[in-house]
Amino acid sequence: MRRIGIDVGGTNTDAVLIEEGKVVRAVKAPTSEDVTTGILDSLKSLGSTGVLAGKRIDGVMIGTTHFINAVVQRRHLTKVAALRLGMPASASLPPFCDWPEDLAELVRGGVWMVEGGHEYDGRPFMPLDEAAVVKAAVEMKAKGLRSVAISSIFSPLDPSHEKRAAELVAAELPDAVITCSSDLGRIGLLERENAGLLNAALADLSRDTIAAFEKAIADSGIAAPLFITQNDGTVAEAHQARRLPVYSFASGATNSMRGAAYLSGLGDAMVVDVGGTTTDVGQLKHGFPREANSVVKVGGVRTLFRMPDLLSIGLGGGSHVSLESAGGPIKVGPVSVGYRLLRDGIAFGGRQLTTTDIAIASDVLQLGDKAKVAYLDAATCQKVFAAAARLAEEAIDRMKTEAGDVPLIAVGGGAFLIPDKLPGVSQVIHVQHGDCANAVGAAIAQVSGECDQIFKDMTRTDAIAAAQGIANDRAVAAGADRKTLSTIESEDMPLAYLPGNSVRVRVRVVGDVAAS
Amino acid sequence: MPLRDITLDDIESLAVGAWVLGTGGGGSPYLGLLNMRALYKEGYRVQLMPAEELADDDWVGAVSNMGAPLVGQERLTDSRTIARAVALMEEHTGTRFRGIMSLEIGGGNSIQPLMAAAHLKRPVIDSDMMGRAYPEAQMTSVAVGDLKPCPLTTVDVRGLESVVDSVPTWKWMERVSRKICVEYGSIASTCKAPRTGAEVKKWGIHGTTTKAIAIGHAVREAQRRHEDPIAAILGVEPGKILYRGKVADVERRATEGFLRGKTRLDGMDDHKGATLEINFQNEWIVAWLDGKPIAMSPDLICVLDSVSGEAVGTETIRYGQRVTVIALPPPKVFLSEKGLAHVGPRAFGYDIDFKSVFA
């Protein structure tokens, strides 16, 4: 097995080559505005020692923060037609009702609510009003809308109304991109619909970005299938990822945690990823990040995405440092010079003292011009490291879920800020290629399938088995090899107040990418 | 004390505070809050009226949403449905309500009377009948007071409307109305038996909307100032911290239409080495410290996120969460022998004598 993993970050595009389980080579190149050039440069650099020559590559896996950044920065978003099937219920809380107004203004192309939807037990809530759907589609067309998000009551249980409405809309608007909320998962109409609306808002950016990825791979001369990494540490084939870009939202953080697991050989550990501006702390369970299972806000919008449960603090290699002499106690972060580190840091001829300058002065890093930071004495440097360690220690302690000491894997370009000993930590592990952990995580990603559904009048065992079957089929449809599937999460929850032994079952399976 | 305007900021606080008073159940007030934001944006306003302002012969409508919170998350709460349940009761009984009150201040039902009040242009009475959240119809102050349990109206947004005109007991009301609710799709907007001003003054649990707003305001202010939100709650309510810890295990099972189970916490800080178990039936019922019962219904057991101060529900509590468990004093009406028969530990199947944290 030979794979290339790429992480397209805001600052750097990292690439790694993994061959038979070993990192052969890891490189960094600056991210480019057009995305393609940065990826091409990193691939060129990766192949510059001849490691790729004449070899078959089984897959190129790309992780990116592009989509989430677009939402957070309100850029490159497409106007969306929102179609909800559920009248007469829910009328007082229309689509976009809990969005931040600035984002809603950008994305809301129009809202249509018609009769339809289901009950928790599968009965139709109302028959689908097909004439009203067609009328809505005609109005969408008149408004020039080409991205449509369809949501329906209890569609995770029965998606038939969403699917039928999608057919009717497609008949009127053949070139429309249509997102059905049932493709995005869980119970909770507003949050699921929000996920659908965000997904639809990314339609154009997703098409262009994936096309840029494909062009870069084609131009580099590498003949391998392209996969995009997902929030949950797995991958989707490019054509599927293009349809559901929201599933790639948190892939950067997930990849670095998965990469940390891989590089250290540990499945259960805490991970601290120290970047230039922020430090993310998370927890690995069986090699995957523990997920947040409650509401996650993206750009101010409530969703129920499968996202790793992370705590972010303002500590990194570019963090501003203010010394005692400046008046107060030593302070590290939360402000950072970010991607301007190589210009603004003192050791690089700039004026802002950063944690990287401290590391250069103490011979922890060999970078820049040491003479420029020679004025920093050892005692001062020790105090700054101690202040940074206290910040990390507090964040790690907050994320820990076990009382005993646990191992901690430190990755990312700023990992030098994590000391070798921390309270509550059995061992701090620094790994080789830790600064490219996210690209490593991309390279080793698997394919997953999930089922989250209510089962009625079944024994608990039968309900779990049924959910398992659905999850397996979804994983295979997403490109997994059925023989390698294993269940990594199974959770069942009996439902209060609902009659007939209703149980909600959530199962997630993963498997290796099937050979094409 | 005269009527006072409820501001949108009050309602934001109410949503946080009512969730704390939900003692683990009652459903999230989030969708109710969204409805109120929309109504206030359209110019609707609601006033709060102390029960003492009621004349003895005034009539008051008591409302609640009944059913599975999960169905509510899919159908979304429509503010007009609860208003229709009240209007239906007025049509059925031929009375006009002076004001509207909540059956249950804990959780989402804290906001139902505000939605009805906005549409019907009546004040919200600053009282409820539980002072918290409870799973069953007979677990109310008016049931303890043996007031009449009927009639009751139920409304579904599709135009389904029914009136339970006569039942002999609260238990029958619970059974019959539950059946209707299930047929509707396990959710119904309901208006309970109308109460006279005299009944509300005698049997209502007073000032609870104001209390929920104060708790929520304290939490939100503390969050804004990066102060300890739990200390802030104890600054406005005479509560006690029982325990700080991490969730080590959650066990849930559905029996007879309720969510029952227990959670086990491992102690932190002052409670390192000690284990707290809390049993629940939709709401937190009995807390056991190393096997000994230390808090039980009707005392309010509130499990709060140690960092945000916001309440953690029995449906959503999960392994690894860091929580602080506090107790708040119970409504006096539940402390009588009759009150304890309705909501004391034995009413939930625990053969222990009630002993208050505040005794």
Protein fold of B238-348 = CV3147-like (2.40.390)
Residue-wise pLDDT for A346-373, tens only, equals 999 989 999 999 999 999 988 888 899 9
Residues A130 and A190 in one domain: yes
Contacts of B186 in chain A (CB under 8 A): 120, 497-499
pLDDT at A59 exceeding the cut of 60: yes
pLDDT of residue A516: 53
Q: Which residues are CB-contacts of A294 (< 8 A; sequence separation ≥ 6)?
A: B316, B318
Crossing angle of helices B30-41 and B79-93, in 10° steps, is 90
Residue A84 maps to a domain:
yes
Q: Where are the domains of chain B?
A: 4-208, 238-348
Residues A153 and A121 in one domain: yes
Protein fold of B4-208 = CV3147-like fold (3.40.1610)
Asked if B78 lies within 8 A of A90 by C-beta distance, the reply is yes
Residues A129 and A186 in one domain: yes
Residue A94 maps to a domain:
yes
Residue A281 maps to a domain:
no
Which among B28, B70, B308 is the top mutation candidate for probing chain A, defined by the most A β-carbons within 10 Å of its own β-carbon? Answer: B70
pLDDT band at A500 (very low <50, low <70, confident <90, very high): low
pLDDT band at A309 (very low <50, low <70, confident <90, very high): confident
Asked if B252 lies within 8 A of A493 by C-beta distance, the reply is yes
Task: Return the minimum-mean-pLDDT range out of A79-93, A294-308, A450-464, B323-337.
Answer: A294-308
Query: What is the radius of gyration, based on Cα positions, of chain B?
Result: 19
Both tokens assigned to A298 = 């993206």
Both tokens assigned to A499 = 């009659």
Both tokens assigned to B79 = 């503010």
Residue in A88, A123, A496 nearest the CB of B157: A88
Residues A197 and A211 in one domain: no
Residues A197 and A227 in one domain: no
pLDDT of residue A477: 83
pLDDT of residue B255: 65
pLDDT of residue A495: 62
- Alpha-carbon dihedral angle through residues B126, B130, B134, B136, given to the nearest 10 degrees: -110
Residues A128 and A197 in one domain: yes
Residue-wise pLDDT for A179-236, tens only, equals 999 888 778 999 999 999 999 999 999 999 999 999 999 998 888 889 999 887 788 8
How many separate domains does chain A show? Answer: 3
Chain CA centroid to CA B190, Å: 15
pLDDT at A326 exceeding the cut of 60: no
Alpha helix positions (H), A3-64: 36-47
In three-state form (DSSP H/G/I as H, E/B as E, the rest C), the secondary structure along A434-469 is HHHHHHHHHHCCEEEEEEEEEECCCCHHHHHHHHHH
Both tokens assigned to A341 = 């580190």
Residues A66 and A120 in one domain: no
Residue A108 maps to a domain:
yes
First to last CA, chain A: 13
Residue A275 maps to a domain:
no
pLDDT band at A448 (very low <50, low <70, confident <90, very high): confident
Measured CA to CA, the distance from residue A429 to residue A407 in angstroms comes to: 7
A295 CA to chain B: closest CA distance, Å? Answer: 11
Measured CA to CA, the distance from residue B165 to residue B93 in angstroms comes to: 10
A477 CA to chain B: closest CA distance, Å? Answer: 27
pLDDT at A95 exceeding the cut of 60: yes
**Position of tokens 């997703």?**
A206
B242 CA to chain A: closest CA distance, Å? Answer: 20
Tallying the residues shown for chain A, one arrives at 516
Residues A45 and A193 in one domain: no
Residues A108 and A216 in one domain: no
* Interface A:B, Cβ pairs < 8 A: 112
Average pLDDT over residues A315-325: 84
What percentage of chain A carries pLDDT values higher than 70? 96
Helix (H) or strand (E) holding A280: strand A279-285
Contacts of A397 in chain B (CB under 8 A): none
Residues A160 and A84 in one domain: yes
Residue A32 or residue A462, greater confidence: A462
- Look up residue A345 and give its DSSP letter: B
Residue A146 maps to a domain:
yes
Residue A133 maps to a domain:
yes
CB B72 within 8 A of CB B108: yes
Which among A497, A501, A503, A506 is the top mutation candidate for probing chain B, defined by the most B β-carbons within 10 Å of its own β-carbon? Answer: A497
Residue-wise pLDDT for A250-297, tens only, equals 788 889 999 999 999 998 999 999 888 888 899 998 888 887 756 778
Residue in B35, B68, B315 nearest the CB of A498: B68
Residues A124 and A196 in one domain: yes
CB A321 within 8 A of CB A353: yes
Contacts of B80 in chain A (CB under 8 A): 91-92
Tell me how far CA of residue B246 lies from CA of B80, B266, B277, B300, B301, in angstroms. Answer: 41, 5, 11, 20, 16
ipTM for the assembly:
0.90
pLDDT at A144 exceeding the cut of 90: yes
Query: Which residue ranges of chain B lie beneath pLDDT 70?
Result: 1, 254-257
Residues of B with CB under 8 A from a CB of A: 31, 34-35, 38, 67-71, 73-80, 157-159, 182, 185-186, 246, 252-254, 257-259, 266, 282, 307, 315-316, 318-320, 322
Residue A26 maps to which CATH number? Answer: 3.30.420.40
Query: Going along A342-419, which residue ranges are E strands?
Result: 406-411
A315 CA to chain B: closest CA distance, Å? Answer: 19
pLDDT of residue A253: 83
Measured CA to CA, the distance from residue A410 to residue A429 in angstroms comes to: 6
pLDDT at A496 exceeding the cut of 60: no
Asked if A89 lies within 8 A of B78 by C-beta distance, the reply is yes
Both tokens assigned to A343 = 């210009």
Average pLDDT over residues A37-63: 88
CB A78 within 8 A of CB A147: yes
**Position of tokens 């892939």?**
A251
CB A195 within 8 A of CB A271: no
**Position of tokens 């707290």?**
B276
pLDDT of residue B291: 95
- Domain region containing A41: 2-70+207-249
Residues A64 and A84 in one domain: no
Residue A315 maps to a domain:
no
Residue-wise pLDDT for A376-398, tens only, equals 888 889 999 999 999 998 888 87
